[in-house]
Amino acid sequence: MQVDTHTHVVAPDASRYPLDAIDPTGGWYREVPVTVDELLALLDEAQVDRAVLVQAVSAYHHDNRYVVDSARRYGDRCASVVCLDPAAPGALAELRTLVTDKGAGGLRWWALADEPLDAPRAAWDELARLRVPVVVTMFAARLGELAAIVPRLPAVPIAVDHCAFADFSRGVPDDLRALVDHPRVSLKVSTIVLDAMADHGDVRDGVAELAACFGADRLMWGSDFSQTHDRPYPELAEYARRAAGRLDAGAREAFLAGTAMRLWPQLAR
């Protein structure tokens, strides 16, 4: 099994799902607007079994309709992670609707600026009741803050997007190691992370070192396709398999699929 935990899709029908771009990310959603049908065809070509569709905030901001509609349409292969402002009026009611009625499988907690990681507390309590994970999108400078608040938060599984864009020039950085003692925090080892490792050595050694620190059952691969689109999708999938080359069979399975299916059990059906 191989599960891609970080993919982005763009609707073919811009009138039904209009773009709502919020930041200058190079316009990838206009350059390579990969639909869910196109993505699944690429997964087949690359021998990838399942995918987590992550709300493309730069393309759609908090309009989650395409990501949840796509995952519901292909519920045998896809899960969805939505994004909204948890402090906005009505946000918790919207979150309940997205999860209970639309089948969303998690919340993307967008914290690239100064948004509090633990507020509003009511949002974390609601996520615990809904029993879905939180995918935190943040920069490495806030990893210490995350490590400090995890013990005070409800027992919600947390996945850190792109390893918080940490600096791997000298191996696993200390700011990322601050999360080692918090077993419900997992790391998304995306193409961005693999490239950062490969810039300073053998990517297989980088993944093995990260697994030695955290355990492979807390690591999960994600392509970041189609925002990352400098290589064909099958190359990104093979890159992940090659990166796991120093792991034993059990650790390799966890990195490529097992951790993902623990956070998103609907993908294991």
Q: Are 119 and 153 in contact (CB under 8 A)?
A: no
pLDDT in tens, the chain (269 residues): 999 999 999 999 999 999 998 765 568 999 899 999 999 999 999 999 999 999 999 999 999 999 999 999 999 999 999 999 999 999 999 999 999 999 999 999 999 887 789 999 999 999 999 999 999 999 999 999 999 999 999 999 999 999 999 999 999 999 999 999 999 999 999 999 999 999 999 999 999 999 999 999 999 999 999 999 999 999 999 999 999 999 999 999 999 999 999 999 999 98
Residue 257's pLDDT is 98
Residue 116's pLDDT is 84
Residue 25's pLDDT is 59
Nearest 5 degrees, angle CA 99-CA 11-CA 159? 45
Q: Give 42: exposed, middle or buried? Use CB within 10 Å, 0-12, 13-18, 19+.
A: buried
Q: Are 51 and 4 in contact (CB under 8 A)?
A: yes
Strand stretches in the chain, DSSP E: 3-7, 50-54, 78-83, 107-110, 134-137, 158-160, 185-190, 219-222
d(CA 178, CA 144): 6
Residue 242's pLDDT is 98
Nearest to 132 by CA among 82, 195, 178: 82
Q: Provide the edge-to-edge strand list for the sheet that holds 3-7.
A: 3-7, 50-54, 78-83, 107-110, 134-137, 158-160, 185-190, 219-222
Within 8 A by CB and 6+ apart from 263, the residues are 5, 106, 133, 157, 159, 186, 220
What is the rounded (10 degree) CA torsion for 46, 51, 57, 58? Answer: 0
Count of domains in the chain? 1
What is the separation, in whole angstroms, between the first and last Cα of the chain?
12
Q: Which domain holds residue 28?
A: 3-268
Residue 22's pLDDT is 77
Helix pair angle (191-198, 233-243), 10° resolution: 60
Q: Are 106 and 132 in contact (CB under 8 A)?
A: yes
Q: In 75-91, which positions are buried (b, 16+ CB within 10 angstroms) versus exposed (e)?
A: eebbbbbbbbebeeeeb
